[in-house]
Every structure is written in C-alpha cells, then in structure tokens.
Amino acid sequence: MIRKVFSQFFNGVFLITKEHNMPVTVILGTQWGDEGKGKGADFLAENADIVARFQGGPNAGHTIIIDGQKTVLHQVPSGILQPRPLCILGGGMVINPITLCQEIAALDKQGVQNIRGRLHIARNAHLILPLHRDRDARMEKSHAIGTTGRGIGPAYTDKISRLGFRAGDILSPLFKQKTRLRVDDYLKSIDEKEDALVLAEFFSACEDLRPFVSDTVDLIHSALADNKLVLAEGAQGTLLDIDHGTYPFVTSSNTTIGGACTGLGIPARAITRVIGIIKAYTTRVGNGPFPTELLDETGALLQKRGDERGATTGRDRRCGWLDLPAIKYAVKVNGLTEAWLTKLDILDTLSEIQVCTEYFADGFCAKASGVINCLETVTPSYVTVQGWEQEIRGTHKFEDLPQAAQNYVRFIEQRIGVPITQVGTGPDRTDNINR
C-alpha cells in the first residue's frame, strides 16, 4: 500500500507527516440481529491482523460451524477461531467476567491456540456485576421488552450514570472494596442480603482476567499506523440500535456504524469497507413490531429449516419474509459499501417467495426512517418471486445456482443499491459463494 508523505507548516516549523490508508473493515447486521455475522467475521478474520468487538456483551451469540463442529461465541470476537489475529473486546462493550472466563475455558478445552497471547480487553470496557442481572430480571417483570436477561441494560445504565465499573478498575487495589460498597447499596435498596458466593465467583473471575486488560486504543492505532488490517465486528443488528432502531424494543448500545468509532476509539476516516449482513428472510427475538412476520406454516417452516433459536437464550426466533425497506434503511444509516446474503439455502423448498418492497402508513408510501419507531402501524406491500425448489447447500459458484435463486439475489441487490458480494449456501465456514 502506498503511503503519502506531505508537509505541514505549524508555528514556523515544517512537519513531515505520513498519511496512512488505515484499512478498517466493519461488519454489522442489517436486521434484528442473528443474520450470520459470526460466520462472516470468521471468514474475514483469516486475513485480519486484529478482530475487535465494538459493542454489546453476552447478549450476543455468534455461531461458527467448522467441519460440522459448532462454536458459539458470546463475548470473545469471532476471529479467535483463526490462528492469526489479535482479538479485542472493545471499550464499547459490557463484559461479564464470570461468563467470559467460562467462554475462555471452553475455547481452551476445544484446543484453540494461544488465547492468552491474542485476547485483549479494553481498559474502558464496562463490567456486568451480579446486581445488574438481578436488576434486569426485576425490570423485565415490570416492563417486558424481551431482553436476554443478561444484565446488559442495567450495566449500560450505570455507565451513562457514571456509576459503572470498568475493566481497568480490576487492576486497582481498591476494586473489591468499592465493588462491595456498590453491591451493599443495591441490596439495601431491594431489602435483600448479599449472595457471598456469587460475589466471590465474580472477584475470582476478575482476578483471572487481569492479564487480559490492555491499552487497546494504542494497540489498534499501532496496527493502523503499519497499515495492518483491522476488522471491527458488531453484535445484534441495525434495527436494535439504541438510537436508530425500533425503540423501545432495542438493545442498549449503538449497533450501527458510529458504534465502531466510539466503541474502539478509531476515527471515521479509518473505515474503508462496511459490510452489511442480510439474512435471506427476516427473524426477530423478543418483543416488538415485525411487519413481515409469518404466523402460519411457512413461518414454522423457516423456523425449523433455519434452526432459528437464539444462540444466547435458546428462544425460538420469530420468522417472516425479507423486509427490503428495513434493509434499505440499514444501507443508508451505515453507509454500506457491500452486502453479504446468508442462509439462502433455507428457502430451497418454497415454490414462491414473498418480498416486502414498500411500507404503507395512513394510505401513503412510507420510508422506514419515518416510521421506524411505529412499525406496528405500517402495512407491508409484497412482490412475489419464483422459488427454485431444489437443494443449493454447499454450492460454491454463483452460476451453479438455479436461475430462480440467482434472480432472487439480483432482485435484492438491485433494490437495495449495493452489491451482494458473498452468498451463504449452508452453515459451514466453507459454504459460501464469492461473487
């Protein structure tokens, strides 16, 4: 890669500065999550120097299947299954030390190499305390929105209230004392007694994580200065973004492109490639509006064929037709440079496929950006496309797909306005078509 050298005049002194290409690729979801980002990140990680999660926490579940062996990652970046990249849990994340240690132990047992040499936790990433999970459960009982119950929302609430504990605090000799005071205050507020065993497990996990806590901002910027490839991996999807999603049925972080900058401490100009993952149909876990939801046998078929169960909670995912107005909204909000289509093979048995191409509200055509917080009021308008009714699993060349399957991909591509450069034809790491 070419580096440009140029001069600046500052306070009477000429400065010679290097301009770097700073190649950051961001991969994120365009729907309500569960689009297949883990598989995509694993694919890209083969050539990446750093793979960094930029938001969310153990409410995410990224499933990767290699030679039939399934690995579900919740906090560790998907690049960990490739031997090359460093993996970073970014400052925009909220981390559960107990479950993270369990995840690391499971990867160790699986034989993943050099985890302790490759895994880094940002000093400014916030910690999920046992009290956050308790508070999450209590809030869900009184105001159900379908959270995973993992303490994510309360941890982010404490972050914004400047009451949170961060990974860097683990290194302080006062960490245990301050944490106990915080827990005591919470227990008094709910008239409960301390669960000493849970807190002891929490402190033990934090102690085990001490060696992983790093200056990840410097780590990433040093890589960028050397023009190394950084992959920023998102969790959940665009429609769950706290600011731009279907509020209040959203997650507690920014799942869209801006979250990569704030969650990792990188400038916007560093991002050169933005890949949006699109599932060939639509799914949603938890409560909230879902315009194209199918409550019939077709929805049940998609659920069964797609094995649509939450990787984190095990809950069945609600299934429906592909929603192009929502995808076009994700393209706009994130500035996608390309898209990858996943799980095309799940549609193999259908003779006809419906695709939502427009929303109507109050009798008028409506853009998703104008109705994103009231999707329950819209009526979807559909176009029927021909199905292919034959198995495509494992197909590796686009021209080997049935003509109807090729047409479906091209139809989506034309409607969303960005190229679909990869098509998933099965669950395994190698079940892809590169176009």
Which runs of E-coded beta strand occur in 281-342? 282-284, 318-320, 322-323, 338-342
Whether 307 is catalytic is no
Which residue, chain included where needed, has tokens 């729907």?
Answer: 31
Distance of CA 203 to the CA centre of its chain: 28
Contact criterion met (CB below 8 Å) for 120 and 87:
yes
Closest CA to 244 of 140, 410, 387, 369: 369
Phi-psi region of 151 (alpha: psi -120 to 50; beta: other; left: phi over 0): left
Tokens representing 89 are 């849990």
Q: Tell me whether strands 352-361 and 379-386 are parallel, antiparallel or unpaired.
A: antiparallel
Distance of CA 15 to the CA centre of its chain: 40
Which residue, chain included where needed, has tokens 């992983």?
Answer: 212
Cβ-count burial 39-72 (b if 16+ within 10 Å, e if not) = bbbbbbbeebbbbbbbbbbbbbbbbbbeeeeebe
| R_g (Cα) of the chain, nearest Å | 22
Whether 34 is catalytic is yes
Annotated catalytic residue: which of 62, 120, 221, 244?
Answer: 62
Catalytic positions: 34, 62
